[in-house]
């Protein structure tokens, strides 16, 4: 596999993480660079680890993983997105509560897992097509996810003024749409 092919795969895998990062950047009231680095680190690490897991499981379990991975991603993203939409209609939370909910370890882990499940399937594919050095491939995938997630949070911060009133609803809708897109792609394409 050429570097260009690997880079294109990496960008494709990172697009969901980028979109989630933008939507969370919209909702973070007081964004600092460390928030963007934290998002990038979570998404980058999971995008690095998941293809490795897929590669290692490919010997006997690939058909079981790909049979339900899209449902897991859909359910996780729909639950988080639905909760965000519901909370957007409730009474105003203070800025610190919103900030801590978005930046919580639990929230970041669930989002990172949900957006990197397709990377697990790519790892299975890497094993089946003998893609070369798996560590190098996973490193590129992780680095691209880190960079695009970082950019996504900062972009969300830049455009948040436009969407400030509806940021949480927009963010929740984006998550539900991404989950639905993943489900539709796997079921019909």
Tell me the pTM: 0.75
Alpha-helical (H) ranges within 28-166 are: 33-57, 62-88, 95-102, 105-129, 134-163
pLDDT tens for each residue of 151-178: 999 998 888 766 655 666 777 787 788 8
pLDDT tens for each residue of 83-96: 777 877 776 555 55
Contacts of 173 (CB under 8 A, 6+ apart): 81, 85
The DSSP secondary structure of 35-55, one letter per residue, reads: HHHHHHHHHHHHHHHHHHHHH
d(CA 148, CA 144): 6
Token digits of residue 135: 């560590």
Task: Flag whether pLDDT at 40 surpasses 90.
Answer: yes
Overall residue count recorded for the chain in this entry:
189
């Amino acid at each position: 596999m050429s570097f260009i092919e690997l880079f294109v795969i990496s960008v494709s895998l990172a697009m969901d993480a980028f979109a989630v990062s933008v939507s969370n950047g919209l909702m973070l009231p007081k964004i600092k660079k460390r928030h963007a680095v934290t998002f990038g680190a979570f998404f980058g690490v999971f995008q690095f680890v998941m293809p490795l897991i897929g590669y290692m499981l490919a010997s006997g379990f690939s058909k079981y993983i790909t049979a339900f991975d899209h449902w897991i991603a859909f359910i996780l993203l729909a639950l988080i997105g639905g909760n965000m939409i519901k909370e957007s209609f409730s009474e105003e939370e203070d800025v610190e509560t919103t900030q801590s909910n978005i930046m919580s370890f639990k929230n970041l882990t669930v989002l990172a897992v949900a957006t990197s499940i397709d990377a697990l399937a790519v790892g299975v594919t890497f094993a089946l097509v003998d893609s070369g050095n798996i560590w190098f491939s996973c490193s590129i995938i992780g680095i691209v996810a880190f960079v695009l997630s970082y950019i996504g949070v900062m972009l969300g911060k830049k455009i948040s003024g436009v969407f400030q009133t509806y940021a949480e609803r927009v963010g929740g809708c984006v998550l539900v749409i991404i989950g639905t897109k993943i489900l539709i792609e796997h079921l019909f394409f």
